[in-house]
Amino acid sequence: MEVRRIAGALGAEVLGVDLSRSFSAETIRQAFLEHQVIFFREQALDPAQFMAFARAMGKPIEYPFVKGIAGFPEVIEVKKLEHEKHNFGGIWHSDTAYLDEPPMGSMLLAREVPPHGGDTLFANQYLAYESLSAGMKSLLSGLRAVNASSKANVTRTREDRIKEQGGSGKEYEAEHPVVRTHPETGRKALYVNTGHTVRFAGMTDEESAPLLEFLFQHQIRPEFTCRFSWRVGSLAFWDNRCTQHNPVNDYHGHRRVMHRITLAGDRPR
């Protein structure tokens, strides 16, 4: 098995492994923690095999807004059809930061891909924090942020999926530190995102907006990112505690179908 970096900031391809057969969970987990997002190619996994890999990496959980596929409640279908204009999660975000215990990580497996486009961008939130000035780090150290499921700019898409698939219509809100410490690496990461963060705790939306807007722009600077182009059978596994991602919506008129599994996390500290 070979681990090959794809960018300076984060991301690596894991080569020479068939996840439907035996693999070293420890080695893959080490690559995951080191590179924050890892990618596999040509993984012809059925849902049971996909679930088996997920269980080797963590605890699969059900997604709060979308019903799972038949027989596998933890596997959701993420799709954009030919006639649709909005894609699922089409904004920079950290998955479900509005939960009290946001997920440790997520896995996405490509089932159908467009002839071009549909890439996913990832951003390193360790670097986003570490590149801040000492004064800004001091300011952020005591702040907490309010994250709400109602804020997402992709609400229409999410609500469409609720209606189509019978998911929960409940709204969620959670307060987390603006700078979180990764429970496994001990490194600090910026933990706000434009998709879900509404304001700082104890402040109004208007008071919070200028600083939040700076952070939202800062944390996705090009030098903090990598870009992944999908093929059928490609699998991405990212660390939700120290990355953000953004699926690029540039393939109108074409179909894109993915399967996703979310892995349980803990309360950010």
3-class secondary structure per residue, the chain: CEEEECCCCCCEEEECCCCCCCCCHHHHHHHHHHHCEEEECCCCCCHHHHHHHHHHHCCEECCCCCCCECCECCEEEEEECCCCCCCCCCCCECCCCCCCCCCCEEEEEEEECCCCCCCEEEEEHHHHHHCCCHHHHHHHCCCEEEEEHHHCCCHHHHHHHHHHHCCCCCCCEEEEECEEECCCCCCEEECCCCCCEEEECCCCHHHHHHHHHHHHHHCCCHHHEEEECCCCCCEEEEECCCEEEEECCCCCCCCEEEEEEEECCCCCC
The CATH number of the domain where 149 resides is what? 3.60.130.10
Q: Is residue 260 flagged as an active site residue?
A: yes
Residue 88's pLDDT band, with cuts at 50, 70 and 90, is confident
Domain membership of residue 114 (yes or no) is: yes
* Domain-located, residue 268: no
Q: Is 93 a catalytic residue?
A: yes
Model pTM score: 0.93
Active-site residue, selected from the candidate residues 161, 241, 245, 256: 245
Q: Catalytic: which of 93, 161, 180, 256?
A: 93
Average pLDDT, the chain: 93
> Quick check: is 266 catalytic?
no
35 falls within a domain: yes
Domain that holds residue 211: 2-263
The answer to whether residue 269 is domain-embedded is no
Catalytic residue, chosen from 35, 95, 180, 199, is 95
Whether 249 shows a pLDDT value over 90: the answer reads yes
Number of domains within the chain: 1
Q: Identify the residue with better confidence: 139 or 89.
A: 139
> What was the pLDDT predicted at 169?
61
Identify the pLDDT of residue 152. 63
The whole-number average pLDDT for the span 90-97 is: 93
The verdict on residue 154 lying in a domain is yes
